Amino acid sequence: MTRTAYINARLIDPATGLDTKGALLTEGENIADFGATLFKDGVPDGISTVDCGGHCLIPGLVDIRVQLREPGEEYKGTLESAGRAATAGGITTMVCLPNTLPVIDDMSVLEFVARRARKLGLAKVFPYGAVTKGLDGLELAEMGLLAEAGAVAFSDGIKPVADAQILRRALSYASTFGLLIVQHAEEPSLADGGAMNAGETATRLGLSGIPREAEIIMVERDIRLLQMSGGKLHFAHLSTSDAIDVVRKAKAAGLNVTCDTAPPYFALNETAIGDYRTFAKLSPPLRSESDRVAVIEGLRDGTIDAIASDHAPHDEESKRLPFAQAAFGGIGLETLLAVTLELHHNGHLGLIDALKLLTSAPADLMGLKAGRLEKGAPADLALIDTDRAWKIEADDLLSISKNSPFDERPVQGRVLRTIVDARTVYELDA
């Protein structure tokens, strides 16, 4: 059985608050031991050694919102390209949306995705099941059967479950099995035809706006439905102060509600669109500066439970269009860590708190045994230099699609090595 010692490391486990100089030992595919005193008298013969150079050895990141595009749209991205991009970003576990072609609304598609990801041996992939058949919002999918087949939660992906009665039934049905419903909070009739956040900037650019209220109204409605039906509800990529405040109050009232956000919503605002820059056309749209600040506050006070990449790859033809016609979405796997670390470098969050939002917190939301340093657990790890400066260059990213809203942004924090099941699957070129 292969044994590897990772020595001279700064061990960080956000789940327990561990932050110490020490070493970690992998045996087979698992973590055998770790701590401050491990190998203090040297590494025994027969164990291969990796010198971490004093850098942070952390649990691999857990990204709970990824669009993989396979099966069906492989020209935008594949399981392999996403796996390589993910591991370059320190991500060892991804939860993928069900909006593939065909949709993950039956067991055969779910099993295809899971089996293919296992065969590739890159980042681990856990699929969402669809809430409604074909993501059409009309008829509930077989959530019980999909859960048995391995679906970790249920979502209609980039579409909201717009019909209140359907969502009420979904919550009620899911609560019987203890399943989580994940909602894209956007009232579709208010958002229809909009290209960016409604307001002064949209008016100046001559673009139709998506009002903040599209998100706020949906969050308010869905929390009322949660009160009626029971169950567990999670809101993806919240972007407005009012929606975050509604979740804050619902949590205080004891409701089983959680939410996440994505790096664009705390690192960018609507001015990033500049002169019709389609890489900055996202869903939900980039908001005002006051909303951006409110997202940071939601992360600081614990209202927002996790950060996800919201990785949405598109081909060049979908983005090289007039802004109003271009597709919504940006890639985010390789930039997730670096942009999140801005919260630490700018003094908004401690390092452990920032890393927790990317590791144990999202893993716990999805009920995954990941995102922790634990003896006996799979050795899914990332070695990171939190201070390494670099510039995001979209053309240099490993993703097939290059539509990064952070193109040309200088950042601090780089993944040096990514380990999945004790195998090094990514190493930064020196």
Tell me, what's the pLDDT at 430? 60
> In order of start, what are the domains of the chain with their CATH numbers?
3-57+379-388+410-427 (2.30.40.10), 60-365 (3.20.20.140)
Contact indicator for 31, 5 with CB cutoff of 8 Å: no
- The number of beta carbons lying within 10 Å of the beta carbon of residue 267 is 23
pLDDT digits (tens, 9 = 90+) for 76-128: 999 999 999 999 999 999 999 999 999 999 999 999 999 999 999 999 999 99
Name the residues annotated as catalytic. 310
Contact 14, 337 (CB under 8 A): no
Strands 257-261 and 232-236: parallel
% of the chain surpassing 70 pLDDT: 100
What does the pLDDT look like over 297-314, one tens digit per residue? 999 999 999 999 999 999
Q: Measure the CA–CA gap between 219 and 61, rounded to whole angstroms.
A: 27
User: How far is 376 from 76, CA to CA, in rounded Å?
Assistant: 37
Strand partners, 231: none
In this predicted structure, the answer to whether residue 137 has a pLDDT above a threshold of 80 is yes
pTM above 0.95, yes or no: yes
Both tokens of 73, joined, read 């749209």
- State pLDDT tens for residues 188-216: 999 999 999 999 999 999 999 999 999 99
CA distance 63 to 357: 10
pLDDT digits (tens, 9 = 90+) for 228-238: 999 999 999 99
Query: Average pLDDT over the chain, rounded to whole?
Result: 97
145-162 tens-digit pLDDT = 999 999 999 999 999 999
Cβ(352)–Cβ(19) under 8 Å?
yes
What is the 3-state composition of the chain as percent helix, strand, coil, each rounded to the nearest 5?
A: 35, 25, 45
Three-state secondary structure of 347-399: CCCCHHHHHHCCCHHHHHHCCCCCCCCCCCCECCEEEEEEEEEEECCHHHCCC
pLDDT-derived band at 427 (thresholds 50, 70, 90) equals very high
Residues 6+ apart with CB under 8 A from 74: none
Q: Is the pLDDT of residue 374 over 80?
A: yes
- Give the pLDDT score at 67: 98
pLDDT band at 1 (very low <50, low <70, confident <90, very high): confident
More confident residue, 363 or 430: 363
- Dihedral-angle region of residue 274 (phi above 0 means left; psi in -120 to 50 means alpha; beta otherwise): left
- Taking residues 47-60, what's their average pLDDT? 98
**Distance (Å) of CA 34 to CA 1, 24, 25, 39, 375:** 18, 4, 6, 9, 8
pLDDT at position 429, please?
Answer: 87
What was the pLDDT predicted at 269? 98
Q: What's residue 287's pLDDT?
A: 98
What pLDDT, on a 0 to 100 scale, did the predictor assign at position 335?
A: 98
